[in-house]
Amino acid sequence: MFARLLVALLLLFGTATPIFSQAARKITVTATTPTPDDRARQWLVLVDDKNYTQSWSEAGKAFQNRQKTEAWAASADTRRAALGAVASRSLKSIELSRNNIAVIRYDTVFAHKAAAVETLTLTFETGSWTVTDYAVD
């Protein structure tokens, strides 16, 4: 809990401040706007629960334009079935850019792969962070 609060405070007041002050795109951060890490974890829960249709619906336009719902569901199901259930997931890194993009990496332990890195790219669009790319290595 303390780590999550610390990340949120750093994002709001620390190194992430330039993201929220871009003149090109005004971003309004409120207490109800999830941090990129929170939003990524919410989205990963959908994938972990095999709710691929909803994960596609909640992804960003770039994600949706790359593949249709059925294609995403089929590829995600194939990839995740080979890995097995998630045993643990811990934050590895967050990289924030001035272009309203966050790249988040998690060290993840799956039932069939003890050391994996999940990488999510999120973009701040239409008032919130949305997943625009997902990979597991």
Q: Which domain holds residue 54?
A: 2-136
Number of domains in the chain: 1
* pLDDT score recorded for residue 8: 47
Q: What is the pLDDT along the chain (137 residues), one digit of tens a residue?
A: 444 544 444 444 444 433 343 334 445 555 567 899 999 999 999 999 999 999 999 999 999 999 999 999 999 999 999 999 999 999 999 999 989 999 999 999 999 999 999 999 999 988 899 999 999 99
99: which 2 tokens?
């272009």
* pLDDT score recorded for residue 31: 56
Amino acid at 57: S
* pLDDT score recorded for residue 32: 66
DSSP state of 137: -
At 78, which CATH number? 3.10.450.100
CA dist 136 and 43 (Å) reads 14
Helix axes 2-13, 36-48, angle to 10 degrees: 130
- Enumerate the β-bridge partners of residue 94: 104
CA dist 16 and 28 (Å) reads 13
